[in-house]
Amino acid sequence: MKHPAQFSEDDLIATFFAPLAGEAGLRLRDDAALMQPPPGRELVLTKDLLVAGVHFFSDDSPAAIARKALRVNLSDLAAKAAEPLGFLLGLALPADWTAEWLAAFAAGLGEDAANYRCPLLGGDTVRTPGPLTISVTAVGAVEAHKMVPRDGVKAGDRIYVTGTIGDAALGLKLRRGATADQDWIGALSDADAGFLRDRYLLPQPRLALRGALKGFAHAAMDVSDGLAGDLGKMLRLAGMTATIELGRIPLSGAARRALQMAPRLIEAICSGGDDYEIVCAAPPAKAASFEAAAAAARIAVSLLGAASPGEGALSFVDAGGEAIHLVRTSFQHF
């Protein structure tokens, strides 16, 4: 392939990104994208920024980096019960980029854009003296008045979470391989280690939960900064709190085996972040319908507990009702 110095910005866009563009992207040859909003729908807009060394590792595969950047945004749309319409990509490339790297990045991005029916609409590519930085803005649509808000929890609502929690936090620890973690890392099977690493690398946006959320949930958000912190935030917005029994937090087999070897991992599991599952609240009268709709959509959901009015912090208890103290409840960006 050509050397980076041989690409103008236009070449780069035409070579790598124009093939990913949807109709609204105008072949990426205009100043902007042009979109006909679906009639009767409202638009849901979200934006996430990912920085090499902070949100992913520079030496992760370029396809995985691209897919993660798109998927974390799709996870936000999923939590709002919105259907993806497309996305804009901002890419700040460090000086050492290669055409091979960018081709693999675009291929991974294109695969996900096709799978999630979320075409590229436009964007911007610039150089940076700093780390690779990726900005994705995703646009989705939802029927009028059907977006599921974050602040809608009511007293008595059942609190559910999708999938399993903590895998990505353990996958990140595996990826870092700190000396303090060698006790359980060394004892984990290759299959378990691979599973956990993948869960860190490739979020699974729960878009299939849209129908269940729209039909039956009062509130929802995606769990990106840790279950403890994010659920606490969702409850606090509505003046609610909850007591969650640790045994109710859904764990994968791999996470369960790691936790058996190192019980201190419960902290990382509850508050480590990068789960990209959905935590939501449904009224008791609709709980069975919510569960049935989720099952029909093949999305596993687990009942965590119930919301009750109160200003107190969300608390976690063990099987005997003893409170568990978490040192920190969520990933801190600052």
Binding to a copy of itself, residues 10-69 (CB under 8 A): 10, 12, 24, 26, 29-37, 41-51, 53-55
Please name the residues in contact with 230: beta carbons below 8 A apart, sequence gap of 6 or more.
221, 222, 223, 224, 279, 330
Nearest-approach distance from CB 257 to a copy of itself, in angstroms? 32
202 binds a copy of itself (CB under 8 A): no
Residue 166 or 205 with smaller CB distance to a copy of itself: 205
Which residues 76-135 are close enough to bind a copy of itself by CB under 8 A?
A: 76-77, 79-80, 82, 88-93, 121-131, 133, 135
Q: How many residues line the site for a copy of itself (CB under 8 A)?
A: 71
Query: Exposed, middle or buried: residue 144 (CB in 10 Å: 0-12, 13-18, 19+)?
Result: exposed
Q: Amino acid identity, residue 190?
A: D
Q: Is the distance from CB of 80 to CB of 44 less than 8 angstroms?
A: yes
CA atoms of 215 and 210, how far apart (whole Å) = 8
Residue 53 or 309 with smaller CB distance to a copy of itself: 53
Nearest-approach distance from CB 320 to a copy of itself, in angstroms? 32
Which residues 141-160 are close enough to bind a copy of itself by CB under 8 A?
A: 144, 147, 149-151
Among 64, 113, 118, 139, binds a copy of itself (CB under 8 A): 139
**Per-position x/- string for 206-245, each x denoting binding to a copy of itself as judged by CB under 8 A, each - no binding:** ---------------xx----------x---x--------
Nearest-approach distance from CB 326 to a copy of itself, in angstroms? 15
Which residues 273-332 are close enough to bind a copy of itself by CB under 8 A?
A: 332
- The Cα angle at residue 225 between residues 229 and 59, in degrees rounded to 5: 160
Strands (E), 79-233: 83-93, 120-127, 133-143, 158-162, 219-223
